[in-house]
């Protein structure tokens, strides 16, 4: 979700009207373009744009374009056109095919950018590079003073030490390799090209470097100031569609500030791609059925009303054929993939808060999963036995699960990108979570008796997701006289109330005292858990000074046994 900072005065200039003062009123207006006013001061408005698929409104020009419709300042499709050819041809080197194959260019003439406008264009460019361009990997944008450039241009490759030029913000010439080494942008984005033997370079007919895409522009040609009148816009990248769309977006932003758009010819050497003219500002059409609109929104909208709402959403209405409206989609809206996208815009322009909520007129029978009913029974029994229910995280770490519990580590499900060292894997058993909780409560009045019913997750190669969720119950009693017989009484009460017969089988387990630990066998066969007195080593590991006894049961096995009965 991109956050966009716009200057109030600049936005008002683009809109041609004053905005309200209060953040609430501005927020209200912005809600119609899925924006939220996060912060507002005398100069700036900070907007969270929720729609991560509408790059056209990640800049102030696009926001103004959309708001003009909502506010009724301008309606219908805003038509952009290419005034003519710029005379620029770009020759693409076939060696770029596997490096950074695509480029698109446009020239915008007669611009007269204020400082604020330049700042905004730069911010928009950066927002596009970061999000849509995936940190310049997929696309990156370059702007140049066209009057300093001598076409035709070549988008070609260079060895790291072959070409040198003065990068933006520096005074001395550097080779491409040096730029990756020393220039802040080289350090930041160098990883995109470093893996290749030759790197992309964009040069003019005199061999003057325009830029080293996607790293940095030249300090001579690639600098736009308030004096710049004619701008060459270039986008390079790995995705053809995204390159074209990014060019459209940045070109339109300049056009909204009074520029006139001229096209360039891109000469590709690839088998499937020859000569292409960019930018492509053609609109597409989509057929939206009136009944579909009504069926989705659930309101009896009239056709004139729908047309009005479409125009306020800045669509064009080409013609009406029976119940179908042929809608013209602006060239900057590739997010419109399906008629449903148009329907949403109609609903938004109508105002969601004007739609009357209705409880669905379908009759269904509700119900809980069988596990949920059984889980309630078990919790009820544990509470009846005087145990306090607790709730802990399923994410934990191996120290808690194994080391502190005095047992050898087992395979557990680990995450590849942990955020903190205490949360690196999913728990495979529940008792450690309870011991951890007790360790934070040594100052609290004893006896302490706690339990949790919670999920543990175990690796399981047989499952498509290679894991199995296992719901478990663990309980601990800890106080100066806690003993095996106390916890066994609890287990006894629990299982007999579930109608299950069980026996204990002696076993050895590092977390429990030898000779005071048993496997819980239910129905003669199935091992469902462990019961015992906690090993003093484990108590010491957790900083506990009272004896404790505990049991842990695999409830997924209990569910099955109860179902069988």
Checking DSSP bridges between strand 153-158 and strand 174-175, what pairing results, if any? unpaired
To another protein, the closest distance from the beta carbon of 358 in angstroms equals 4
Would you count residue 167 as binding another protein (CB under 8 A)?
A: no
Distance CA 267, CA 271 (A): 12
Structure tokens at 511: 């977390």
The site string for another protein over 4-43 (x = CB under 8 A, - otherwise) reads ---------------------------xxxx---------
Task: State the pairing for strand pair 153-158/82-92.
Answer: parallel
In whole angstroms, how close is the CB of 440 to another protein at the nearest point?
Answer: 4
Least distance (Å) between residue 467 CB and another protein: 4
Nearer Cβ to another protein, position 172 or 353?
A: 353
Angle at 182 between CA 201 and CA 242, to 5 degrees: 40
Nearer to another protein, 55 or 517 (CB): 55
Q: Which residue has the tokens 């934990």?
A: 396
Q: Which is nearer to another protein, 261 or 458 (CB)?
A: 458
Q: Among residues 195, 291, 364, 480, which is the contact residue for another protein, using CB under 8 A? A: 364
Regarding 555 and contact with another protein (CB under 8 A), the answer is: no
Give, as ranges, the residues between 416 and 435 that touch another protein (CB under 8 A).
416-420, 423, 426
- CB 135, CB 189: distance < 8 Å: yes
The reply to whether 269 sits near another protein by the rule CB under 8 A is no
3-state secondary structure of 541: helix
Is 393 near another protein (CB under 8 A)?
yes
Partners of 521 in the beta sheet? Answer: 503, 527
Do residues 476 and 556 make contact, with C-beta atoms less than 8 angstroms apart? no
Residue 66 DSSP symbol: H
Tell me the CA end-to-end span of the chain in Å, nearest whole number. Answer: 52
Parallel/antiparallel/unpaired status of strands 316-321 and 275-278:
unpaired
> Which residue of 347, 482, 495, 520 would you call a contact of another protein, by CB under 8 A?
347
Closest Cα to residue 141, out of 227, 54, 243? 243
Which SS3 state, helix, strand or coil, does residue 462 take? coil
> Could you tell me the sign of the dihedral formed by the alpha carbons of 46, 48, 51, 52, in that order?
positive
> Token pair for residue 51?
């729609």
Give the total of residues touching another protein (CB under 8 A). Answer: 97
Binding another protein (rule: CB under 8 A), the pick from 391, 508, 525, 564 is 391
Residue 250 tokens read as 């940045």
Query: Between residues 32 and 315, which has the closer beta carbon with respect to another protein?
Result: 32
Q: Does 445 bind another protein (CB under 8 A)?
A: yes
Closer of 18 and 462 to another protein (Cβ):
462
Residue 283 sits in the site that holds another protein (CB under 8 A):
no
In 131-197, the DSSP E strands lie at 139-145, 153-158, 164-165, 174-175
Q: Which is nearer to another protein, 88 or 474 (CB)?
A: 474
Does 405 bind another protein (CB under 8 A)? Our answer is: no
What CA–CA distance (Å, rounded) separates 410 from 443? 33
C-beta closer to another protein: residue 50 or 501: 50
Our finding on whether 480 is near another protein (CB under 8 A) is no
232, 252, 239: which is closest to 331 by C-alpha? 252
CB hemisphere CA count around 523 (13 angstroms): 16
CB atoms closer than 10 angstroms to residue 376? 12
| Cis-peptide, bond into residue 427, ω within 30° of zero | no
Sequence-ordered alpha helix ranges (H) in 131-239 = 176-182, 184-189
Piece of the chain touching another protein by CB under 8 A; list 39-47, 81-89, 458-466, 481-489: 458-466
Among 89, 394, 399, 507, binds another protein (CB under 8 A): 394
**Of residues 13 and 286, the one with the C-beta less far from another protein:** 286
Pairing of strands 467-478, 502-506: unpaired
Q: Is the Cβ of residue 210 or residue 457 nearer to another protein in the bound state?
A: 457
Query: Which of the residues 488 through 527 are near another protein (CB under 8 A)?
Result: none
Among 147, 337, 409, 537, binds another protein (CB under 8 A): 337
**Alpha helical stretches, state H, 163-223:** 176-182, 184-189
> Rounded distance, CA 23 to CA 19, Å?
10
Provide, rounded to whole angstroms, the least separation between the CB of residue 343 and another protein.
7
User: According to the binding rule CB under 8 A, does residue 486 interact with another protein?
Assistant: no
Nearer to another protein (CB atom), residue 464 or residue 499: 464
Q: Smallest gap, in angstroms, from Cβ of residue 387 to another protein?
A: 5
> Should residue 356 be labelled a site residue for another protein when binding is judged by CB under 8 A?
yes
Q: 7 or 308, CB closer to another protein?
A: 308
Of residues 186-225, which lie at the interface with another protein (CB under 8 A)? none
Q: Write the binding mask 117 to 146 for another protein: x where contact by CB under 8 A, - elsewhere.
A: --------------xx-x---x--------
**Binding residue for another protein, selected from 91, 196, 455, 559, defined by CB under 8 A:** 455
């Amino acid at each position: 979700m991109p956050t966009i900072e716009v200057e109030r005065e600049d936005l008002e200039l683009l809109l041609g009207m004053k905005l309200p003062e209060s953040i609430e009123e501005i927020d209200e207006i912005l809600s119609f373009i899925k924006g939220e006013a996060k912060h507002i001061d005398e100069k700036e408005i900070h907007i969270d744009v929720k729609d991560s698929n509408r790059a056209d409104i990640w800049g102030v020009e696009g926001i103004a374009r959309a708001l003009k419709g909502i506010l009724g300042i301008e309606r219908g499709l805003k038509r952009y056109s290419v005034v003519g050819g710029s005379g620029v041809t770009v020759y693409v080197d076939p060696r770029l095919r596997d490096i950074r194959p695509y480029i698109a260019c446009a020239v915008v003439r007669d611009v007269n950018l204020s400082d604020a406008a330049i700042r905004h264009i730069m911010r928009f460019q950066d927002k596009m590079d970061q999000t849509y361009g995936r940190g310049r990997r997929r696309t990156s944008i370059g702007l140049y003073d066209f009057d300093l450039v001598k076409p035709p241009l070549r988008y070609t490759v260079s060895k790291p030490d072959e070409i040198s030029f003065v990068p933006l913000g520096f005074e001395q010439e550097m080779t491409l390799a040096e730029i990756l080494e020393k220039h802040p942008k080289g350090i930041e984005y160098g990883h995109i090209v470093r893996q290749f033997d030759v790197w992309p370079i964009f040069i003019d007919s005199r061999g003057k470097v325009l830029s080293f895409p996607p790293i940095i522009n030249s300090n001579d040609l690639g600098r736009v100031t308030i004096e710049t009148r004619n701008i060459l816009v270039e986008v390079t990248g790995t995705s053809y569609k995204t390159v074209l769309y990014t060019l459209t977006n940045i070109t339109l932003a300049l056009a909204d500030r009074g520029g006139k758009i001229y096209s360039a010819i891109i000469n590709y050497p690839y088998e499937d791609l020859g000569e292409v003219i960019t930018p492509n500002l053609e609109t597409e059409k989509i057929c939206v059925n009136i009944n579909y609109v009504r069926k989705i929104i659930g309101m009896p909208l009239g056709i004139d009303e729908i047309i009005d709402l479409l125009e306020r959403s800045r669509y064009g209405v080409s013609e009406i054929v029976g119940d179908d409206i042929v809608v013209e989609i602006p060239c900057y809206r590739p997010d419109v993939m399906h008629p449903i996208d148009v329907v949403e815009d109609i609903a938004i322009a109508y105002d969601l808060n004007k739609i009357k909520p209705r409880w669905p007129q379908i009759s269904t029978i509700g119900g809980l999963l069988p596990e949920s009913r059984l889980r309630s029974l078990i919790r009820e029994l544990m509470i009846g036995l005087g145990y306090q229910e607790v709730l802990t995280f399923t994410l934990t770490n191996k120290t808690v699960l194994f080391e502190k519990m005095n047992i050898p580590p087992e395979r557990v499900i680990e995450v590849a990108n942990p955020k903190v060292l205490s949360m690196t894997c999913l728990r495979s058993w529940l008792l450690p979570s309870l011991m951890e909780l007790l360790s934070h409560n040594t100052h609290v009045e004893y006896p302490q008796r706690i339990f949790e019913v919670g999920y543990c997750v175990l690796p399981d190669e047989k499952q498509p997701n290679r894991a199995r969720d296992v719901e478990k119950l663990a309980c601990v009693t800890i106080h100066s006289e806690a003993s095996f017989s106390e916890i066994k009484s609890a287990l006894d009460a629990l299982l007999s109330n579930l109608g299950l017969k069980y026996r204990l089988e002696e076993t050895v387990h590092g977390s429990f005292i030898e000779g005071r630990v048993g496997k819980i066998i239910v129905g003669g066969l199935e091992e469902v858990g462990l019961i015992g007195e906690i090993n003093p080593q484990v108590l010491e590991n957790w900083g506990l000074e009272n004896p404790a006894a505990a049991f842990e049961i695999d409830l997924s096995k209990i569910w099955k046994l109860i179902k069988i009965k």
